[in-house]
Chains A and B, each alone.
Chain A
Amino acid sequence: MTRPGTPEWSADEAITSLFAAHYRPLVRLATLLLHDRGAAEEIVQDGYVALHGHWSRLRDADRAVGYLRTSVVNRCRSALRHRRVVTAYLAETGPAADAPSAESGALDLLRHDAVIAALRTLPGRQREALVLRYYLDLSEAETADLMGVSRGAVKSHTFRGLAALKQSLGAER
């Protein structure tokens, strides 16, 4: 995301513009990691508030998006560490029965739910790697950068995550 001609945003302008462009995707990212939309929104909002405080040292939309993503991933990790979201949600039933989008309607809903449920049981790093690689479509290098680990670690988290999901991914075929 390059934003030519806007490198001189004030912190307030930056928050407004970056909110418009990235709030929804970031909430989605956080929800995929956390499986709790309310908490996900809080975490993303924290990220924006923190970004405002750091704006003078970023001053650049590209770096700001990276900052927001890193902040969201880190905060989700902390939240998971401190609250047993995964177990709490496993005890509940599957995804809410709100209207599925066209695409999820086309997918086998059973398999969809199985994959999402399996994703929740993965160790945090594996889930992060999968979500960053396959939801955000980041490269291995970008994922490594964002997670603060080596490319090799990303490779291995991704591999193990996919292996663990293999059954649900391949089910119903």
Chain B
Amino acid sequence: MAAGEEVLRRVLAAEADRIEPGPGALPGIQRRIRAGDRAGARRWWRGPGRALPRGARGRWGGWSPLAAGTVTVATLNVAAVVVGLASTVVPTPSERPGPPPGAAGAERSATPVPTVDDVRPGPTPPGGPVAPSAGQSTGTQTTAPAATTAALAVYYLGGDPARPRLYREFHRLWLHDGSARDRITAALRNLLDSPVGMDPDYRSAWPEGTDLRDVTVGDGVATVDLAGAARAGVDEVTARLAVQQLVWTVTAVPGVSGLRLRLDGAPVDRLWGRVDISGVLRRAPAMEVLAPVWLISPQHGDAVGRSFQVHVAGILPEATAQFRIQRGSRTVREQFVTLSEAGPAQGERKFTVSLPPGRYTLTAYAISLADGSEQYLDDHTVTVR
């Protein structure tokens, strides 16, 4: 059969040579990413005879079936955008090669690194929008309305599975027009897209298959319509935090302080039979829902320079957190970190660490006042280049 194999190899190679992709696919891909499309959520091949699942593909997920011919047409429409896109987004120097996020102001103006108010660990006051802080005006919004990315806050559950709390990550996501609605859509799509955060220790409380139908924003309140959320059961502890996970993520967007939740297009009073979701939902007190210790940056999986900034936040009675650096199983450094404020407020502290290149595990945690044990560990693996 060796001769047959060789013939098959040549036939396949020759057949492949005939296949030339249409032009301009990259802009189409980038446009879909920017729009928060979830590839794979589409079921376009089912054809017109079959209904889309639950009518769930709302305006954000409702990609019309692009036939081979229309791909090109769609591409032409965005061609103009892409010229600008190529220069602003594609070679995103992002925060990686330079100083860590939130370092010097100069870098911030060039790229949409987390805005100052995003990086600030202090929970935004419940019921109030994020206080604008110095430097914000130099930040995110550029003149180009399309094709920008921003680091958006996304909250996850983590810590003791019996008593999970919220942790926050910043995810660099595509924006369309930079509006609150746009930011909320991007952040929630990202939240619902994966069962875990960048740090696999962080998990989403929302059942897989939950889909975003629509987002509207008015008077500082975002109305978010979800599909498929109620199908799966969620336990008591997770249910309450699931709602807070959403509330904290949505209200991390400046100008938004409350969330109204709809399921499959209709207002609902209770979710999973366990948690009240009627009316406008606000952030629960930080003390009750946030993890007592956060290692804010570097984030899990980051690559940093030899000298980098560590940012720790905590809600701790004596404003004292612990910080440890390990390489493999060897502890390289251990230190106290005195936070700016003691609990119930969330204090923070930034400091600089210098390390030779290698992979390290950074852990922020607290010592129990009761028995001296380590608790609330938040560890991130990072690479020092």
Contact = CB atoms under 8 A, between A and B. Distances in A.
Contact of A19 (B22, B26, B39, B68): B26
A126 B11 CA distance: 16
B74 to A, nearest CB: 11
A112 interface: yes
Which of B25, B94, B385 has the largest number of chain A CB atoms within 10 A?
B25
B110 to A, nearest CB: 14
A100 B5 contact: no
Contacts of A11: 172
Interface string B4-34: 1101111111111111111001101110110
A45 B4 contact: no
Interface string A91-113: 00001001011011001000110
Contacts of A32: 12, 15-16, 19
Given A130-B8, A169-B7, A16 B69 contact: no
A95 B301 CA distance: 47
A116 B69 CA distance: 24
A103 B40 contact: no
A29 B11 CA distance: 13
Contacts of B22: 41
Contacts of B68: 36-39, 41
Interface size bracket, A side: 35 or more
B12 A131 contact: yes
Q: Describe A's contact surface by its main secondary structure.
A: helix
Contacts, number: 167
B96 to A, nearest CB: 5
Interface in B56-113: 66-69, 71, 89-92, 94, 96-97
Interface in B223-274: none
A59 interface: yes
Contacts of B44: 42
A4 interface: no
In the A-B complex, the 8 residue pairs with the smallest Cβ-Cβ separation, listed nearest first, are A38-B68, A104-B14, A49-B39, A46-B39, A50-B39, A169-B4, A101-B17, A28-B16
Interface of B: 1, 3-5, 7-22, 25-26, 28-30, 32-33, 37-40, 42-47, 66-69, 71, 89-92, 94, 96-97, 149, 171-172, 190, 193-194, 198, 200, 301, 303, 385
